[in-house]
Chains A and B, each alone.
Chain A
Amino acid sequence: MGVLLQQAVNLLQLGSIYALLAIGFSMVYGIVGLVNFAHGDIFMVATYLLFFLATWLFSMTSSSFAVLLASTALAAAAIGLLAMIIERVAYKPLRGAPKVSLVVTSLAVGLLLQHLVLEFLGPNSQRVPRMVPDIKFTVGTVNFEFYQILIILFALFIMLLLNQFIRRTRTGVAMRAVSQDATAASLMGISKDFIISVAFVIGAAIATVGASLYGMAYPIFDPYIGQMINWWSFTAAVLGGIGNIRGAVLGGFLLAAVMVISPMVLPVSSYRDIVAFSVLILVLLVKPSGLLGKRSIQKV
C-alpha cells in the first residue's frame, strides 16, 4: 500500500512534466500541421538559460523561491520569443511545402541548436542549482519531497490557466478555430500568421516551465537531453491524439504510468522504454488518431 502511494506521487510528478512537454508539441501540430522535432532542443536551450539565470539571480538574492519564479518567468518569455523567431525564419518560408520538408527542417533546427550549445558551452553535464527547500514529508510509510508537490501543483496551475485561455479568451477561441478550419478562420478576419506565432510562443513557454520543474527532480543536464525530451513529447502527444491539447495531457500521464509501473512488474528496468513504445503502437493500432484524436478533416 505504501509503495503504491509512493509510486502514485511519482506518477503524478512525472506525468505533470510530460504533459507540459507534450502540450506545446501538440498545439503546434494542431495549428500548423508541423511535427516539430526542434521541441526537445528548445527545451534543452531553455534548461541552459534557466541554469544561467538562476546562477545570476542567486548572486543578487538568497530567496530561492524568488529565484525560481523570476528565472522561470524570464526564461519562458525569452524561449517563447526564440521559438517565434525560429518559426518566422525556418518554418514560415516553407508554408505550403510538403510535410516531409517541414519535419526535416525541424530536425535540422534541433541539431543546429544542439551544436551551437556544444560549440559555445561544451559537452559537459551541469547541475541546476537547488531552488526549493529540501523538505521531506512522511505520511505513514510514504516519503515524498516538497519539490514533488510543487511540480504537481505548478503544472496543474499552468494547465488550468491554459485551459481558461483556450476556452474563454478571444485569441484562444481563434486558435481553436484555426486548428479546425484555417480558411474559414481567415474569413472571420483572423490572421493565421499571428495565431501560429501565438502557438509557438505558448508551446515553448510551457515547455520552459516544464524544464524548470524537470530540473527540480532531475538537476543534471547536458546538450544531448533534447533527444529524450523529443521522444517523450512525441509519444505523449501521439498517444493522446496529436493536435489535441487535452489529449497531450492524458498522453503525458499515460506515458508516466508506463514509466513508473513497468519497472515494478518487469525484471529489468530498461524494458520500460520497450513497454512505452509497445503501448504507443497498440493504442495506434486500435485508434490510429490517438486516444482523444478526431479523424482528421482533410484540408483542401
Chain B
Amino acid sequence: MNSKDREQKNQPILAVENLCVAYGKIKALKEISFQVYSGEIVSLLGSNGAGKTTTLNAISGIVPAQSGKIVFRGQNLVGMPTHKIVQCGIAHVPEGRRIFPELTVEENLHIAGYLFSNRNKPLLEQRMEYIFSLFPRLKERRQQAGGTLSGGEQQMLAIGRALITGGDLLLMDEPSMGIAPNLVEEIFATIQTINQKNGLTIFLVEQNAMMAMEISNYCYVLETGVIAHEGVSKDLMQDDSVARAYLGESI
C-alpha cells in the first residue's frame, strides 16, 4: 500500500484535525493532524517529550484538547469524558501499563469487561479465553496480584485488559518500554496477530522506531509537538535524513 491508496480509501476511522494541547503555558501539541484508516497499524514515533503520550491521552479524553477536532467514526470526541470514549470503541494501553496492582490478574481482566459483563457474561468468558490463548502466562497467574507480575507480564495484562474492553481502535503507548528484547519481539508479533486475525486497527506509539516501522503500514514522526514527517513505513525506513534526524540511534 502506498500513500495514494491510503487516500483513496473512504473515511478514516480516526481523523485528528489541528489538535492543540497545552499544559499551562507549555504547548505540548501544536495543531497536529493525522488519520488512521480501518485495519491499519499506524505508528507515531518521536523522541522523549515529543508529545506522543499527550496525543494518545487527548484522544482518550484524559487530557483536554485546547482546540482542534478528534473525529472517530464521524463523531467528534473532544469534550467527551474518558469512560464514554471507551464506549465509542477506543481501547487504550496507557504509558507505564497502569494495571491495578492490588487486583488479581483475573480481576484486572474482569473489570475491563465492566461495560458489558453484567449483561453478557459469556462474552467476557470468551474474551478471557482469547486473552489466555494469546498470553498463556497470564492464565497460570490468574490469582496473582497484578502488582507482583514482572514488567513483561504486566504489559501482557495491560494489552489483555484493553482487548477485553472491546474497542475497534487500539491505542498503545510504548509497549516495548523496559522489556527484554526477546519479549518485545513476542509482543510485537502479538500486535500483528490481533491486527490481522481480529481486524483491530492499531495506533502505536513507540520510541523503538525500527521495530514499529517494520510492523506498521504508515508512520508519523512527531517532533516537539508538530508532525515533522509522515509516510508509508517502507519509504520512511529508506529515507536516511528522516532516520538520522528524527529517529535517533535506534536505527
- For A294, the chain B residues whose CB sits under 8 A away are 102
Contact of A184 among B87, B99, B107, B118 (CB under 8 A): B99
Question: When the two chains form their complex, are residues A173 and B103 in contact, meaning their CB atoms are under 8 A apart?
Answer: yes
Interface residues of A in 166-194 (CB under 8 A from B): 170, 173-174, 176-177, 180-181, 183-192
Pick the interface stretch among B109-117, B178-186, B212-220, B226-234. Answer: B109-117
- For B165, the chain A residues whose CB sits under 8 A away are 187-189
Q: Does B123 contact A (CB under 8 A)?
A: no
Question: When the two chains form their complex, are residues B83 and A186 in contact, meaning their CB atoms are under 8 A apart?
Answer: yes
- A187 to B86: give the CA distance in the assembly, Å: 6
Question: When the two chains form their complex, are residues B92 and A173 in contact, meaning their CB atoms are under 8 A apart?
Answer: no
- For A176, the chain B residues whose CB sits under 8 A away are 100, 102-103, 107
Question: When the two chains form their complex, are residues B98 and A173 in contact, meaning their CB atoms are under 8 A apart?
Answer: no
Closest to A300 in B: B96
Closest to B115 in A: A189
Contact of A191 among B81, B112, B161 (CB under 8 A): B81
* Interface membership of chain B positions 42-64, coded 1 if the CB is closer than 8 angstroms to chain A and 0 otherwise: 00000000000000000010100
Question: When the two chains form their complex, are residues A177 and B98 in contact, meaning their CB atoms are under 8 A apart?
Answer: no
Question: When the two chains form their complex, are residues B102 and A187 in contact, meaning their CB atoms are under 8 A apart?
Answer: no
Q: Does B101 contact A (CB under 8 A)?
A: yes
- A187 to B162: give the CA distance in the assembly, Å: 8
Given A173-B103, A177-B100, A189-B83, is A183 in contact with B114 using a C-beta cutoff of 8 Å?
Answer: no
- For B98, the chain A residues whose CB sits under 8 A away are 181, 183-184, 187
Given A183-B62, A191-B81, is A173 in contact with B102 using a C-beta cutoff of 8 Å?
Answer: no
Question: When the two chains form their complex, are residues B81 and A186 in contact, meaning their CB atoms are under 8 A apart?
Answer: yes
- A113 to B86: give the CA distance in the assembly, Å: 39
- In the complex, what's the smallest C-beta–C-beta distance from B31 to chain A, in angstroms? 25
Question: When the two chains form their complex, are residues B103 and A187 in contact, meaning their CB atoms are under 8 A apart?
Answer: no
- A188 to B115: give the CA distance in the assembly, Å: 8
- A294 to B162: give the CA distance in the assembly, Å: 27
**Best-surrounded residue of B60, B114, B161 (most CB of chain A within 10 A):** B114
Interface residues of B in 100-135 (CB under 8 A from A): 100-103, 107, 110-112, 114-115, 117-118
Q: Does B94 contact A (CB under 8 A)?
A: yes
Interface of A is mostly: helix
Closest to B61 in A: A186
Closest to B171 in A: A187
Q: Does B192 contact A (CB under 8 A)?
A: no
- In the complex, what's the smallest C-beta–C-beta distance from A172 to chain B, in angstroms? 10
Given A170-B114, A177-B103, is A186 in contact with B161 using a C-beta cutoff of 8 Å?
Answer: no
**Best-surrounded residue of B62, B83, B86, B107 (most CB of chain A within 10 A):** B83
Given A176-B102, A177-B100, A177-B103, is A190 in contact with B92 using a C-beta cutoff of 8 Å?
Answer: no
Contact of B92 among A174, A187, A192, A297 (CB under 8 A): A187
- For B112, the chain A residues whose CB sits under 8 A away are 188
Q: Does B82 contact A (CB under 8 A)?
A: yes
Contact of B82 among A173, A187, A297 (CB under 8 A): A187
Given A181-B100, A188-B161, is A173 in contact with B107 using a C-beta cutoff of 8 Å?
Answer: yes
Question: When the two chains form their complex, are residues A189 and B114 in contact, meaning their CB atoms are under 8 A apart?
Answer: yes
- For B114, the chain A residues whose CB sits under 8 A away are 170, 174, 188-190
Question: When the two chains form their complex, are residues B118 and A180 in contact, meaning their CB atoms are under 8 A apart?
Answer: no
* Interface membership of chain B positions 69-107, coded 1 if the CB is closer than 8 angstroms to chain A and 0 otherwise: 000000000000111001100011010001111110001
Question: When the two chains form their complex, are residues A186 and B82 in contact, meaning their CB atoms are under 8 A apart?
Answer: yes
* Interface membership of chain B positions 158-191, coded 1 if the CB is closer than 8 angstroms to chain A and 0 otherwise: 0001100100000000000000000000000000
Question: When the two chains form their complex, are residues A190 and B118 in contact, meaning their CB atoms are under 8 A apart?
Answer: no
Question: When the two chains form their complex, are residues B111 and A187 in contact, meaning their CB atoms are under 8 A apart?
Answer: no
Closest to B57 in A: A183
- In the complex, what's the smallest C-beta–C-beta distance from A78 to chain B, in angstroms? 27
- For B62, the chain A residues whose CB sits under 8 A away are 183, 186-187
- A77 to B112: give the CA distance in the assembly, Å: 30
- A38 to B102: give the CA distance in the assembly, Å: 29
Interface residues of B in 14-70 (CB under 8 A from A): 60, 62
- In the complex, what's the smallest C-beta–C-beta distance from A179 to chain B, in angstroms? 9
Closest to B60 in A: A187
- A187 to B101: give the CA distance in the assembly, Å: 16
- For A190, the chain B residues whose CB sits under 8 A away are 83, 111, 114
- A241 to B37: give the CA distance in the assembly, Å: 49
- In the complex, what's the smallest C-beta–C-beta distance from B125 to chain A, in angstroms? 14
* 14 pairs, A vs B, C-beta closer than 8 Å: A170-B110, A176-B102, A180-B101, A183-B98, A184-B94, A184-B99, A184-B100, A187-B92, A188-B112, A188-B114, A188-B115, A189-B83, A190-B111, A191-B83
Q: Which 7 residue pairs spanning A and B have beta carbons closest together?
A: A186-B82, A184-B98, A189-B115, A189-B86, A180-B100, A191-B83, A186-B83
Please name 4 further chain A to chain B contacts, defined as beta carbons within 8 Å, in addition to the given A176-B103, A180-B102, A188-B111, sorted by A numbering. A170-B114, A181-B100, A185-B111, A187-B92
